[in-house]
Amino acid sequence: QVQLVESGGGSVQAGGSLRLSCATSGYTYNLNSKMAWFRQAPGKEREGVASVTPTVYGARTTYADSVKGRFTISRDNAKNTMYLQMNSLKPDDTAMYYCAAGRGGASLDIAGYMYWGQGTQVTVSS
């Protein structure tokens, strides 16, 4: 049984930083897998923030334009944990953040992600 458990959310002022963690169990992370962070603000659709997939050349990452240069996705295979380092946070980053895992190449499209965590709330005040 695959389980994804997020942590690290909280409240922060604009310009601050947070690091989200996603502990995984029961999920095999190999060359046909992908993991990602999504977020959903009230009244808005869930959107992809960052994704990572292993390749023979190393991890391949993809970012939404809105977070490029501010957010960094990474994964510690020894700990079976994925991270999202968020710097220079803005009020527009306020949302519930979800960890997701699936099969296929790195993508910010929700399709192909069949495993989801319960979410962790991030609130950025101005």
Q: What is the pLDDT of residues 10-47, one digit of tens each?
A: 999 999 999 999 999 999 888 889 999 999 999 999 99
Cβ proximity of 39 and 115 under 8 Å: no
Cβ proximity of 30 and 46 under 8 Å: no
* Percentage of the residues of the chain whose pLDDT score is greater than 90: 87
Report how far residue 57's alpha carbon sits from residue 6's, in angstroms, rounded to the nearest whole number.
Answer: 28
Cβ neighbours of 20 (radius 10 Å): 24
The strand pair at 95-103 and 33-40 is best described as: antiparallel
Q: Tens of pLDDT along 95-109?
A: 999 999 999 877 899
- Quote the strand ranges of the chain, DSSP E: 3-7, 10-13, 18-25, 33-40, 47-55, 58-63, 71-76, 81-86, 95-103, 113-116, 120-125
At residue 48 the predicted structure's pLDDT band, cuts being 50, 70 and 90, is very high
